[in-house]
DNA sequence: CATAGATCCTGTATGC
DNA sequence: TGCATACAGGATCTAT
């Protein structure tokens, strides 16, 4: 569910509420979220308990928590239904349904990780030098996202132009470019006036550049709006929805008029996922 | 190696 | 109203 703008909104909330705080107590369950740790949730509990939070960093849809003086980080992925909430006061019952991790902070605040579908991850990983920054080793295969300093569109375009896959599927491939999910892939395609089913080899450098810039612009604007909410599944750390839904050009707008030409937006299934597009504005002509 | 497809889960919406 | 089915913002593993 959460893509780059939603993860970034949550990260900013955590930075504001939890950086500099000491973790006085940890509660967790043994859910699938901890599956990548050698001793499961126990390993994560031991790591966090007593630590002081130094930072929350992000690459694409992955976020990680750093503790002062530690060479490992807690990598957090929200999957399809993950949510992180902050509460100024202790909650009543320990661990509500679908609540898998709870951190008690030294100022009385509480950070709570909730995930009904448990497609997310909470994984400890050693930090590694990568370019100018430290990235958890577990994310070695995740490419830079378009909002990073390390972003190198030329290299991405070079690779993408050699693939026969659909361009929308390439946008969703986190080893090529990270952070883009189904919403911002469709919004980027709409901005670039391209249909998702064109092939990577067919675009050429210029249109690839326009497409990547379109997706990046949509994500930048979505961050300003606090992300995209369709229901209560996505809210920020304070429980507030994001308002980018009002600015979507195509995503989840099947049957509604295109903002630029009035034609009803269409929905199709492409490589197993929903794809929304304007059949008039988003056309592909190989001789452009 | 690159690609297509199945798979992990629960909650909600839709149709009969 | 009740029940069955489809679908959901993602990433990873497997088979070809």
User: Tell me: the pLDDT tens digits for A55-90?
Assistant: 999 999 999 999 999 999 999 999 999 999 999 987
Which nucleotide has its C1' atom closest to residue A170's CA? B3
Asked whether residue A173 carries a pLDDT value surpassing 90, the answer given is yes
A32 touches strand B (CB under 7 A): yes
pLDDT at position A49: 98
**Separation of A167 CA and C5 C1' (Å):** 31
Q: Are A181 and A61 in contact (CB under 8 A)?
A: yes
Residue A174: both structure tokens together? 């986190």
Q: Are A234 and A228 in contact (CB under 8 A)?
A: yes
Asked whether residue A288 carries a pLDDT value surpassing 90, the answer given is no
Asked whether residue A248 carries a pLDDT value surpassing 90, the answer given is yes
Report the relative pairing of strands A72-77 and A62-67 from DSSP bridges: antiparallel
d(CA A232, CA A230): 7
Q: Are A128 and A142 in contact (CB under 8 A)?
A: no
pLDDT at position A131: 82
Asked which of A84-98, A198-212, A241-255 is least confident by mean pLDDT, the reply is A84-98
Report residue A132's pLDDT band, with 50, 70 and 90 as the boundaries.
confident
Report residue A286's pLDDT band, with 50, 70 and 90 as the boundaries.
low
Listed residue (A74, A70, A57) closest to A123, CA to CA: A74
**Separation of A43 CA and B4 C1' (Å):** 36
User: One of A3, A6, A8, A99 is an active-site residue; which one?
Assistant: A3
pLDDT at position A287: 44
The average confidence (pLDDT) of chain A is 95
- A59 catalytically annotated: no
Report residue A92's pLDDT band, with 50, 70 and 90 as the boundaries.
confident
Q: Tell me the average pLDDT across A252-256.
A: 95
Of the CA atoms within 13 Å of residue A180, those in its CB half-sphere come to 30
Q: Tell me the average pLDDT across A129-144.
A: 93
- Please tell me what DSSP assigns to residue A244: G
More confident residue, A8 or A89: A8
pLDDT at position A90: 76
On strand B, nucleotides with any atom < 7 Å from a protein CB are 2-13
**Separation of A232 CA and B10 C1' (Å):** 15
- A220 catalytically annotated: no
The radius of gyration of chain A from alpha carbons, rounded to an integer in Å, stands at 20
Strand order in the sheet with A53-59: A53-59, A62-67, A72-77, A121-130, A133-136
Report residue A284's pLDDT band, with 50, 70 and 90 as the boundaries.
confident
Q: Tell me the average pLDDT across A15-28.
A: 97
**Separation of A164 CA and B4 C1' (Å):** 12
pLDDT at position A79: 96
Q: Tell me the average pLDDT across A173-191.
A: 97
Residue A59: both structure tokens together? 């690459």
Residue A60: both structure tokens together? 């694409």
More confident residue, A81 or A288: A81
């Amino acid at each position: 569910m959460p893509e780059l703008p939603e993860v970034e909104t949550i990260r900013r909330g955590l930075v504001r509420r939890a950086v500099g705080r000491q973790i006085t107590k940890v509660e967790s369950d043994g859910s699938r979220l901890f599956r990548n740790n050698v001793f499961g949730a126990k390993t994560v509990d031991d790591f966090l308990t007593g630590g002081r939070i130094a930072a929350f960093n992000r690459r694409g849809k992955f976020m990680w928590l750093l503790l002062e003086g530690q060479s490992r980080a807690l990598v957090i992925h929200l999957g399809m239904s993950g949510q992180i909430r902050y509460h100024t006061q202790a909650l009543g019952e320990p661990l509500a349904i679908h609540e898998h991790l709870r951190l008690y902070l030294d100022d009385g605040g509480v950070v709570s990780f909730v995930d009904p579908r448990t497609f997310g991850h909470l994984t400890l990983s050693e930090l590694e030098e990568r370019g100018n920054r430290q990235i958890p080793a577990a994310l070695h295969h995740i490419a830079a996202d378009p909002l990073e300093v390390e972003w190198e569109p030329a290299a991405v375009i070079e690779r993408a132009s050699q693939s026969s896959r659909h361009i929308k599927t390439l946008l969703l491939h986190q080893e090529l470019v990270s952070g883009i999910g189904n919403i911002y892939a469709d919004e980027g395609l709409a901005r670039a006036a391209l249909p998702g089913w064109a092939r990577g080899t067919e675009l050429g450098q210029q249109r690839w550049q326009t497409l990547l810039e379109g997706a990046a612009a949509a994500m930048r604007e979505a961050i300003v709006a606090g992300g995209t909410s369709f229901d209560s599944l996505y809210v920020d750390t304070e429980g507030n929805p994001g308002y980018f839904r009002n600015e979507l050009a195509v995503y989840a707008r099947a049957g509604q008029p295109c903002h630029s030409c009035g034609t009803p937006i269409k929905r199709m299934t492409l490589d197993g996922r929903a794809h929304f597009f304007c059949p008039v504005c988003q056309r592909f002509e190989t001789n452009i």
